[in-house]
C-alpha cells in the first residue's frame, strides 16, 4: 500500500519540478508557483483518500473471504440439516426434554 502512495507521490513531485512523470512521454507544460503550492497542499489529501479507498477494498475482500470460509455455500450443507431448518422456519420444531437429549441430537447432525 505504501509503495502505491510513494509511486504516486514520486510522480507528483516530478510534475512539480517540471520533469517527466513517465519515461518516453513529453515533458508537461511549466507549472506556475501558485499551482505548485496548490499541488503541495492537495497531495496529502489525495494520498489519504487513495489510502482509505485501498484500505476499504482490502477490508471488503477480507470480509468476503472470511464469510466464504465460515458460511459454506448451501450445496456443501447436508440436505437433512437444510430440511430441519426449513421445518423450523415453518414453525415445525423439535422439542427436547433436557440438554443431554439436545446434545445427542446435535451430535447426530
* Total-model pTM: 0.39
The model's pLDDT over 67-106, given as tens digits with 9 standing for 90+, comes to: 877 776 767 777 888 788 787 778 767 778 899 998 998 8
Cα 45 from Cα 51, distance rounded (Å): 10
Q: What is the average per-residue pLDDT within 1-19?
A: 53
Cα 103 from Cα 100, distance rounded (Å): 5
Domain map of the chain by residue range?
Answer: 1-71, 74-109
Cα 46 from Cα 8, distance rounded (Å): 10
Q: What band does 7 get if pLDDT is binned at 50, 70 and 90?
A: low
The model's pLDDT over 51-68, given as tens digits with 9 standing for 90+, comes to: 999 999 999 999 988 887
Q: What is the average per-residue pLDDT within 27-47?
A: 88
Amino acid at each position: 500500500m505504501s509503495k502505491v502512495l510513494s509511486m504516486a507521490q514520486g510522480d507528483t513531485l516530478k510534475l512539480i519540478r517540471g520533469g517527466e512523470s513517465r519515461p518516453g512521454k513529453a515533458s508537461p507544460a511549466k507549472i506556475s508557483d501558485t499551482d505548485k503550492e496548490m499541488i503541495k497542499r492537495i497531495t496529502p489529501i489525495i494520498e489519504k483518500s487513495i489510502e482509505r479507498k485501498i484500505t476499504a477494498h482490502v477490508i471488503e475482500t477480507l470480509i468476503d473471504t472470511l464469510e466464504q470460509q465460515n458460511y459454506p455455500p448451501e450445496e456443501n450443507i447436508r440436505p437433512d440439516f437444510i430440511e430441519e431448518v426449513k421445518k423450523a422456519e415453518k414453525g415445525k420444531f423439535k422439542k427436547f426434554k433436557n440438554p443431554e437429549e439436545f446434545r445427542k441430537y446435535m451430535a447426530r447432525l
